[in-house]
């Protein structure tokens, strides 16, 4: 019965309706389940985090059926780029992950080195094992979860609704809007929207470079998030750095809203641009 009901929901028309409703519905279910756990001793402050984890877990449970019914594919985790296809060696995701991590380190270096050389920031070198483990958790958690949602699921769905190029741009737009903080002021908000959009574009192109494997995107995205957390939680002091360069807000800057990161991502996108026209559908890359 549940399977039949899910089938009817996935195949409802117009085709874009299940795409629009899936994440809000799953998020609502996750929040309801987490709220129901409060009488069992779960603190109110943890409801949001637990609800998010439950929502993503439900998303993963739904994905095999979604991929089979909506994309006509039997191998869900191959279609999403998590597992290599039968035509790929296992070294493909390993190399992709390593390449993505190297890109993240390079981008963070481009951001940090000018700040240190200019004297706007100082190297403190303070870190703890707890901080390092939190950075690793962010790297893997954020990298895997968000790349499955944006560069695997959303990108493939948009390709069924629009063109290949439209899907690349569309997933980057959604990625930037979802992550933007609209209380920063006009210019900081526009800077963050721009930086997030450029990152979304480069991540989509990165998946194409990696033969459909999602692990390069995971390495780059997760490496940026975890690496920046590690840098700002003791390794660097950025209190004197101009916000328009390093990012807003001043207290906890997001580097993607700063001029250095936007310039670096823009140059990376220009270098990648010739491959945009050659991007194939993610599910075909992994077949």
pLDDT per residue as tens, the chain (287 positions): 556 666 666 767 787 888 888 999 999 999 898 888 777 777 777 788 888 999 999 999 999 999 998 898 889 999 999 998 877 777 889 999 999 999 999 999 999 998 888 888 888 888 889 999 999 999 999 999 999 999 999 999 998 888 888 899 999 999 999 998 888 888 889 999 999 999 999 999 999 888 889 999 999 999 999 999 999 998 988 878 888 888 888 778 899 999 999 999 999 888 877 766 565 444 444 43
Residues in the chain: 287
Alpha-carbon span 198 to 154, nearest angstrom: 17
For tokens 């929040």, what's the residue?
31
Pair 103, 162 in one domain: yes
**131 & 192 share domain:** yes
Say which residue the tokens 């929901």 belong to: 9
- Please state whether beta strands 122-123 and 236-237 pair in parallel, antiparallel, or not at all (unpaired): antiparallel
- Residue pair 226/109 in contact by the 8 Å Cβ criterion: no
Q: Are residues 56 and 175 in the same domain?
A: no
Whether 56 and 135 map to the same domain: the answer is no
The structural domain count of the chain equals 2
Q: What is the pLDDT of residues 211-248, one digit of tens each?
A: 889 999 999 999 999 999 999 998 988 878 888 888 88
**pTM confidence score:** 0.90
d(CA 109, CA 261): 10
Query: Do residues 256 and 160 share a domain?
Result: yes
Q: What was the pLDDT predicted at 6? A: 65
8 A C-beta contact, residue 54 and residue 48: no
d(CA 52, CA 214): 22
Look at residues 20, 52, 70 and tell me which one is the last residue of a structural domain.
Answer: 70
Q: Are residues 7 and 147 in the same domain?
A: no
Residues 71/283, Cβ–Cβ less than 8 Å: yes
Predicted local confidence at residue 198, as pLDDT:
96
User: Looking at the structure, do residues 2 and 85 belong to the same domain, yes or no?
Assistant: no
Asked if residue 80 and residue 66 are part of one domain, the reply reads no
Report the percent of the chain where pLDDT is more than 90: 48
Q: Are residues 93 and 224 in the same domain?
A: yes
pLDDT of residue 286: 40
**Phi then psi dihedrals of residue 184, to 5 deg:** -90, -15
Residues 251 and 156 both lie in one domain: yes
What pLDDT is attached to residue 282?
44
């Amino acid at each position: 019965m549940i399977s039949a009901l899910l089938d009817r929901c996935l195949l409802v028309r117009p085709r874009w309706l299940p795409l629009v409703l899936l994440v809000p519905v799953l998020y609502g279910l996750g929040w309801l389940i987490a709220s129901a756990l409060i009488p069992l001793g779960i603190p109110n402050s943890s409801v949001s985090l637990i609800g998010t984890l439950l929502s993503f877990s439900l998303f993963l449970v739904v994905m095999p059926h979604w991929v089979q019914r909506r994309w006509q594919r039997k191998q869900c985790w191959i279609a999403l780029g998590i597992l290599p296809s039968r035509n790929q060696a296992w070294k493909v995701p390993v190399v992709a992950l390593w390449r993505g991590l190297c890109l993240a380190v390079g981008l963070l270096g481009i951001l940090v080195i000018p700040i240190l050389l200019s004297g706007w920031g100082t190297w403190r070198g303070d870190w703890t094992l707890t901080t390092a483990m939190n950075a690793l958790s962010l790297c893997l958690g954020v990298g895997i979860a968000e790349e499955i949602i944006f560069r695997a699921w959303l990108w493939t769905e948009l390709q069924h609704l629009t063109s290949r190029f439209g899907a690349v741009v569309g997933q980057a737009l959604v990625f930037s809007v979802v992550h933007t903080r609209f209380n920063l002021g006009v210019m900081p908000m526009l800077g963050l929207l721009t930086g997030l959009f450029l990152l979304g574009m480069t991540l989509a192109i990165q998946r194409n470079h990696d033969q459909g494997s999602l692990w390069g995107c995971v390495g780059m995205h997760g490496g940026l998030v975890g690496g920046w957390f590690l840098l700002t939680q003791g390794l660097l002091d950025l209190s004197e750095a101009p916000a328009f360069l390093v990012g807003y807000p001043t207290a906890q800057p997001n580097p993607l809203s700063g001029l250095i990161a936007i310039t670096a991502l823009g140059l990376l996108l220009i270098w990648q641009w010739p491959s945009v026209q050659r991007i194939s559908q993610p599910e075909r890359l992994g077949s």
